[in-house]
Amino acid sequence: MDMTALPVPAVALEPSQLRRSCDAARLQFKTTAELEPLEGAPGQARAAQALEFGVGMRREGYNLFAMGPEGYGRHSLVLQHLEAQARRMAPPADWCYVFNFKEPHRPRALCLPSGQAPAFKAAMARLVEDLSAAIAAAFESDEYRNRHREIEGELAERQESAINEIGERAKAQRIALIRTPSGFGFGPMNKDASGVMDPEEFARLAPGEQKRYEEQVAALQKELGDLFHLMPKWRREALDKMRNLDREVTRAAVNSLIDELNSAYATLPDVQEYLRQVKEDTLENAAAFRQPGAEGAEAPLRRYAVNVLIEHSGTSGAPVIYEDHPNHAAIVGRIEHISQMGALVTDFTLIKSGALHQANGGYLVLDALKVLTQPYAWEALKRALRSREIDIRTLGQELGIISTVSLEPEPIPLDVKVVLVGERWLYYLLHGWDTDFAELFKVAVDFEEDMPRGAQDDELYARLIAGCVGREKLRPLDPGAVARVIEHQARDAGDAHKLSVRMQTLVDLLREADYWAGAEHHDVVGEQDVRRAVEAQIARCDRLRQRLQEHIVRGSQLIDTEGSRVAQVNGLAVLQLGDFAFGSPHRITARVRLGGGRVLDIERESELGGPIHSKGVLILSGYLSGRYVLNKPLSLSASLVFEQSYGGVEGDSASSAELYALLSALAEAPVRQSLAVTGSVNQHGDIQAIGGVNEKIEGFFDLCRTRGLTGSQGVLIPDANVKNLMLRDDVVEAAAQGKFAVYAVRSVDEGMELLTGVPAREIHARVEARLSEFAERARAFAVAAGKKSWRPERKK
Amino acid sequence: MASRAQEIRVGRIIACFAPGRAAAPEAVAHLAKQMQAELLGLFIEDAELLRFAALPFAAEVGLASAARRTLDLAAVERLLRGQAASVREALAASLGGHHWSFRVARASPADAVAAALAEGYAPSLVIPPGGNPLAERRIVRAADLDEEQLRALLAAVRPVLILPE
């Protein structure tokens, strides 16, 4: 910096510079009811274009991430675009799960034309009913009974004649065949062959005769045993015949019914294949139709049910689904279980759809943070998007922690566009750390937080307000109320030349103004109602602000608002508590002495200062060493502190105040305590813009007003922040009356002159002299130290 | 014939039970109640079987297992007693207060049934051992029934309605 250049003295800003008012007289309507509502999203042209592109681009990976802070209408704008596009699209196909006759644990997915799934389900239910009746009737028929009896009789006759044949052969040997409790036996006949020989008679026979009988009986027993071995085979043959008979009878009953259904779905090969399998299965399981018996999961006819997973009857256009609770099951679907005899069982009818099923063929909107905080939901979503199919797996299956018998339903092809809605940091975090993210979410939809406030934009914003009023069914606003709302939104944007497009705060303000208008029995919301709503919002949140101010007023926290003092400057800090931010003054002090050229940041040393604050303090060292005693070492030891600050300090907006305190200490120039300072500084001494300028000014103003406005009080702000000024009416009014002032400064020199009343050139000269003195004294110490060793000399 | 049989009020049902060929007692009881007829449960301990079991080398070949098992008289008698008791219990449980009686006869089936028929109660419905009580009935006049014919009818297993002379 040119040391010879004289700073331009800073002057107090004009009241008109402190707040950009909206002139209600220029709004050409009586109430907002006359205005055509603006349904779009003003100021979101970039986001709207990105949405238009992303929504229309149906290629792999072109999913969207709508990023921006909460409350800026991301959901509504996204849904608005999606619904508009979805209306132009055809409704997607219906999907059902049916029993897989080949692999029962892998239910089959059936695709049907849009809206036809419920009819198919009803047709199958009717088919089962008809089959039950038809099969039962067929099995009750005389033909079936006669043929069944014939087979049974044939078997009985075959067995009987075989046994009788052996009996006849035995009889020829004078041996009788006897029926016993569990089978048959052989015994010698009596003399007249009318029955079995008495045991006494048998005992009287010669031993040879007895032995002959025993041998003959043994041979017959063996023969009978061999015959009995053949009987299960004969029974099986008879059973096969009966089974064939059953199939024949069932086929006759089933064919016409299934063929009728088949012809109704002639154009759907998958359905036809399924019906063919149903026919085969009914032939095998005809008994189930005759005695349906059990209910629940064990019901034998349940296998012919149709589980309509997703259907679109009565809808037009593609689906647009917003899933508010996107956990793993809600995204990919789930397989439920029911308790049966103490065990958990499931089947294909217990498969439930997820958001991906519902949105398939259309659009799915999810909150990014919710997806990421639900266990395995993000992985499941990515897997589905990558593979382009929905594979329903329960979390238990995926983790392998549940051994209950479960299903592996056939995956369903996926054609969906996913829109994630989230904050910017989340987008950048995912982009940086998740390699799949960039591949799957190629379209960023970046939402603005404000819109320009040109001459025509107040009118446009009035229409936006009219739209909100209409949607929320509120009382209309008069021009004065609209002007107040616009000013409030400019304040929310923190810029006199911009308007916040945070819809949440706008709608909240309109609702609350409507409430106060209702309380006052107003038909139209007026300026006073809006003012009251704003005041009530602040009053609900400002307990801490009041408590802090009370501490200052009662002297617990030391802040001077009059007089002058060396090395003491009023800095300003902003406290953000939830949605409410307010400014509060803090005393910043500096101490200097001869030292090693170091500026000590006490906040940092005590670990109460953040890195940006530390950076600001280090810049001060740079400023001092680059400006003063350039040919000598900087032999200064200085310390800086935020007095009575017990929480953390972050940001560099106090760095100019710290520099003023430091210069004041070095130049021994008292600083006016009626002024407060905000602004960061660079190594050249330029004052740079900071945030929260309105809150900071108002914070100091509130304290001064409480103690009494003297006319000498004011705040120094960076010149670059003048465009951000949207101060409260009372501040502007005080400034207009000359009771309070806001000064825009561009350089440290301007600030020092205002604070000390001493010309900057003189301040710099005093600082230069002080630092030179420090350097000389430091040199003197060094010389003295060089001549005289600090070690005691040894005697020779 | 069946319709005619249904028109005739049956005086007594003689249900024969024999080892290995027991009709279902519950079905017999149900029929008796339905026909409002007195029931005689006749458990026949076949004399032939007992004689056979007393032979020194008596053995049976199991119908289901095809295995040969030695028989002795005491075991067969014990078995028959057990079977008779269980038939009796089943009838008692099914019949409740219905009029019925039960007896064990050690004779041939034809002799046992002939003795029961001689007690009167005509017309009587005879269900042979192992017979299905609901199967189609044959109708025979008592006058036409000699011992040989009765034996043949019982062997045929179908229920027989015996009309008075």
- Residue A214: closest C-alpha in chain B: B57
Q: How many residues does chain A have?
A: 796
A214 CB neighbours in chain B (<8 A) are 57
Question: For residue B27, what are its two tokens?
Answer: 């079905």
Q: List, for residues A53-91, the tens digit of each pLDDT value.
A: 998 888 889 999 999 988 888 888 899 899 999 999 999
Q: Is the pLDDT of residue A792 over 70?
A: no
Question: For residue A433, what are its two tokens?
Answer: 């750390």
User: What pLDDT, on the 0 to 100 scale, is given for residue A633?
Assistant: 83
Q: How far apart are CA A107 and CA A613, in angstroms?
A: 63
Q: Is the pLDDT of residue A494 over 90?
A: no
Mean pLDDT comparison of A439-448, B57-66, B152-161, highest-scoring range: A439-448
Q: At what angle do helices B25-35 and B73-95 cross, to 10 degrees?
A: 40
In the numeric block, the tokens 């032979």 are attached to B55
**A443 near A63, Cβ under 8 Å?**
yes
Q: How many CA atoms lie within 13 A of A600 on its CB side?
A: 15
Select the residue of A180, A224, A231 nearest B49 (Cβ to Cβ).
A180
Q: List, for residues A130-170, the tens digit of each pLDDT value.
A: 998 898 888 888 889 899 989 999 998 999 899 999 999 99
CB contact under 8 A, A182 and B59: no
Please choose, from the candidates A199, A452, A414, the residue with its C-alpha nearest in 3D space to the C-alpha of residue A309.
A414
Interface test with A, best of B44, B50, B52, B86 (most A CBs within 10 A): B52
**How remote is the C-alpha of B128 from its chain's centroid?**
5
Task: Tell me the pTM.
Answer: 0.71
Q: How far apart are CA A677 and CA A738, in angstroms?
A: 19
Residue A292 distance to chain B (closest CA, Å): 25
Among A457-461, A559-563, B99-103, the minimum mean pLDDT is found in A457-461
User: What pLDDT, on the 0 to 100 scale, is given for residue A4?
Assistant: 45
**A457 near A464, Cβ under 8 Å?**
no
CB contact under 8 A, A178 and B49: yes
Residue B95 distance to chain A (closest CA, Å): 26
Select the residue of A178, A221, A224 nearest B52 (Cβ to Cβ).
A178
Question: For residue A59, what are its two tokens?
Answer: 């290629």
Active site residues of A: 653, 696
B76 CB neighbours in chain A (<8 A) are 180-181
pLDDT band at A233 (very low <50, low <70, confident <90, very high): very high
CB contact under 8 A, A181 and B59: no
Q: Is the pLDDT of residue B89 over 50?
A: yes
DSSP line for A708-719: ---SS-EEEEEG
Whether the upstream peptide bond of residue B56 has omega within 30° of 0, thus cis, is no
Q: How far apart are CA A489 and CA A481, in angstroms?
A: 12
User: What pLDDT, on the 0 to 100 scale, is given for residue B7?
Assistant: 62
The per-residue b/e assignment along A68-105, b for 16 or more CB within 10 angstroms, e otherwise, is beebbbbbebbbbbbeebbeeeebbbbbbbbbbeeeee
**How remote is the C-alpha of A376 from its chain's centroid?**
12
A197 vs B: CB within 8 A:
yes
Q: How far apart are CA A404 and CA A105, in angstroms?
A: 12
Q: List, for residues A657-682, the tens digit of each pLDDT value.
A: 999 999 999 999 999 999 999 999 99
Chain B, window 14-33: residues with a beta carbon less than 8 angstroms from a chain A beta carbon: 19-21
Side chain identity, residue A123: A
Residue A293 distance to chain B (closest CA, Å): 23
Classify burial at A459, counting beta carbons within 10 Å of its beta carbon; exposed 0-12, middle 13-18, buried 19 or more.
Answer: middle
Residue A148 distance to chain B (closest CA, Å): 15
Q: How far apart are CA B6 and CA B8, in angstroms?
A: 5
Residue A195 distance to chain B (closest CA, Å): 7
Q: List, for residues B24-35, the tens digit of each pLDDT value.
A: 888 899 999 988
Q: List, for residues A549-563, the tens digit of each pLDDT value.
A: 899 989 888 999 999
Cβ neighbour number for residue A57 with a 10 Å cutoff:
14
The CA distances from residue A494 to A499, A573, A692, A781, in Å, are: 8, 16, 7, 53
Q: How far apart are CA A415 and CA A603, in angstroms?
A: 56
Select the residue of B20, B53, B55 nearest A182 (Cβ to Cβ).
B20
User: What pLDDT, on the 0 to 100 scale, is given for residue A117?
Assistant: 96
A313 DSSP 8-state letter: T
pLDDT > 70 fraction of chain A, expressed in percent and rounded: 96
Question: For residue A270, what are its two tokens?
Answer: 């998958």
Q: How far apart are CA A467 and CA A473, in angstroms?
A: 10
**A671 near A587, Cβ under 8 Å?**
no
Q: What are phi and psi of A754, to 5 degrees?
A: -65, -40
Q: How far apart are CA A569 and CA A587, in angstroms?
A: 6
Q: List, for residues A368-413, the tens digit of each pLDDT value.
A: 999 999 999 999 999 999 999 999 988 877 777 766 667 899 999 9
pLDDT band at B20 (very low <50, low <70, confident <90, very high): low
Q: How far apart are CA A416 and CA A439, in angstroms?
A: 15
Q: How many CA atoms lie within 13 A of A480 on its CB side?
A: 9
Please choose, from the candidates A472, A495, A469, the residue with its C-alpha nearest in 3D space to the C-alpha of residue A482.
A469
Q: At what angle do helices A479-493 and A527-541 cross, to 10 degrees?
A: 40
User: What pLDDT, on the 0 to 100 scale, is given for residue A750?
Assistant: 94
Q: Is the pLDDT of residue A713 over 80?
A: yes
Question: For residue A100, what are its two tokens?
Answer: 């897989």
The CA distances from residue A641 to A556, A654, A657, A729, in Å, are: 18, 11, 11, 34
Q: How many CA atoms lie within 13 A of A759 on its CB side?
A: 9
Q: How far apart are CA A558 and CA A578, in angstroms?
A: 27
Select the residue of A176, A187, A228 nearest B61 (Cβ to Cβ).
A228
User: What pLDDT, on the 0 to 100 scale, is given for residue B2?
Assistant: 40
Among A238-242, A496-500, A697-701, the minimum mean pLDDT is found in A496-500
pLDDT band at A793 (very low <50, low <70, confident <90, very high): low
Pairing of β A183-188 and β A443-446: unpaired
Please choose, from the candidates B15, B28, B12, B18, the residue with its C-alpha nearest in 3D space to the C-alpha of residue B134.
B28
Q: Is the pLDDT of residue A186 over 90?
A: yes
**A507 near A73, Cβ under 8 Å?**
no
B78 vs A: CB within 8 A:
no
User: What pLDDT, on the 0 to 100 scale, is given for residue A405?
Assistant: 62
Q: How far apart are CA B86 and CA B26, in angstroms?
A: 12
A176 vs B: CB within 8 A:
yes
User: What pLDDT, on the 0 to 100 scale, is given for residue B6?
Assistant: 52
DSSP line for B60-123: EEETTT--EEE--HHHHHHHHHHHHHHHHHHHHHHHTTS-EEEEEE-S-HHHHHHHHHTT--SS
- Residue A195: closest C-alpha in chain B: B48
User: What pLDDT, on the 0 to 100 scale, is given for residue A790?
Assistant: 46
User: What pLDDT, on the 0 to 100 scale, is given for residue A2?
Assistant: 43
Q: Is the pLDDT of residue B5 over 90?
A: no
A176 CB neighbours in chain B (<8 A) are 48, 52
User: What pLDDT, on the 0 to 100 scale, is given for residue B157?
Assistant: 78
Select the residue of A198, A225, A228 nearest B51 (Cβ to Cβ).
A198
CB contact under 8 A, B71 and A217: no
**A303 near A292, Cβ under 8 Å?**
no
Mean pLDDT of chain A: 89
Q: List, for residues A776-786, the tens digit of each pLDDT value.
A: 888 888 888 77
